[in-house]
A = this chain, B = another copy of it.
Amino acid sequence: MRISVEPRHTYKLINHGPTTLITSAAGGKRNVMAAAWVMALDINPPKVAAVIAEDTYTRELVDASGELVVALPTRAMVDVTYAVGSVSGREIDKFEKYALKTSPATKVAPPLVEGCAAWLECRVIREPHHEKAYDLFVAEVVAAWADDASWKNNSWQFANDDARTIHHLARGDFLVSGPHVKAKAL
């Protein structure tokens, strides 16, 4: 079940560096792409930084709407994650082609892709220089959600191996998030 994550805990959803799916929507069009270059940027109110390349359809839609959703695909979604990162939404409707089910977000237009471990609904804070110079977008997280099968007491406790986050190395080779290790005080 999808549960709300409080703003002050939202950074913990992505602090471990998972690869993400970014959905976008504008003018009746929508798209989804894979993005590894996404990180937390602030705790409360939560912000994220994300690289969205200049020539992508996602960039066009995010430019137009100022909205995006950053979602965390699971190990079960590794094939589709790589697939949506390898073709452009200008040519095909990736949701249709890859049979991605979605549900509406609560505060932004881009949809939530079903089956993910978490979703961050975001509004872009316009930073024209960084967008142009580095393809770097800054966004405030206006709502956040997690799958309660894997998110316990505001921490990841993945329900099973298929529910784990994935971390792209290159060319479709991913590392799955592994076991917990607790640092001992020195």
Interface residues of A (CB under 8 A from B): 12, 15-19, 36-42, 47, 49, 51, 75, 78-83, 98, 127, 129-130, 134, 136, 138, 154-156, 164, 166-170, 172-186
Does A15 contact B170, Cβ atoms closer than 8 Å?
A: yes
> Which residues of chain B come closer than 8 Å to A39, judged between CB atoms?
17, 36-39, 49, 51
State how many copies of this chain the complex holds. 2
> Which residues of chain B come closer than 8 Å to A169, judged between CB atoms?
12, 15-16, 155-156, 180
Q: Contacting A16 at CB < 8 Å: which of B12, B42, B167?
A: B167
Does A83 contact B47, Cβ atoms closer than 8 Å?
A: no
Q: Contacting A138 at CB < 8 Å: which of B81, B134, B180, B186?
A: B134
Does B178 contact A172, Cβ atoms closer than 8 Å?
A: no
